[in-house]
Structure 1
Amino acid sequence: MSTYPLRLADHVMEEARLAAAEDNVSLNQLLSALIADGIGHRRAIMDLKKRAVRGNVEAALAILDRVPANEPDEGDELADEGK
């Protein structure tokens, strides 16, 4: 296991302490989990960007053009803009 001296703004540290207390975990556990989660999200985004480069927009739009124009099932309608 490694250690790293991390500098945080006072307000960020206070929020982290509060979150750790709310979750009933140590500050170290909270920060480790948040960092791991952030790295996972970053990897997912990077993978999606790599896949997007290989994508073919024209082919995707051609597939969507073949979808029939059916009414949505009850409950799947778009919400009204004014509400």
Structure 2
Amino acid sequence: MSTLSVRLPESVHKKLKELAKKEGVSMNQFISLAVSEKLSVLLTVDYLKERAKKGNRKDFEDILSQVPDVEPEDYDRL
């Protein structure tokens, strides 16, 4: 594990402290989770962009044409 020193505005530090306490975790754990979530989002976007480059519009439309043309179920009744 490595150490990182971060400068935060007082208002952000105060909110961080409050939210970490509310969540029942240390500020370090809260920050680590927040950074991990952000990395996950950015890496997922990059992954999807790369996958999209490999896509084929005709294949997509062929597969989509196989989906039945029906109204969706009314989930409010469930």
Question: Which of the five TM-score ranges fits, normalised by the shorter chain?
Answer: 0.7 to 0.9
2:68 corresponds to which residue? 68
1:5 corresponds to which residue? 5
- Tell me the amino acid that sits aligned with residue 15 of structure 2: E
Which digits, 9 at most, give the CA deviation of each residue in 1:45-68, with x for residues without a partner? Answer: 211111011111232123212322
TM-score by length of 2: 0.77
2:26 corresponds to which residue? 26
Q: Distance in 2 between matches of 1:61 and 1:50?
A: 19
Which digits, 9 at most, give the CA deviation of each residue in 1:4-24, with x for residues without a partner? Answer: 111223322222111101012
Indicate the RMSD between aligned Cα atoms, in angstroms. Answer: 1.9
1:26 deviates by 1.2
TM-score by length of 1: 0.73
1:30 deviates by 0.9
Greater share of helix residues, 1 or 2? Answer: 2
Identity %: 33
Count of aligned pairs: 76
- Tell me the amino acid that sits aligned with residue 38 of structure 2: G
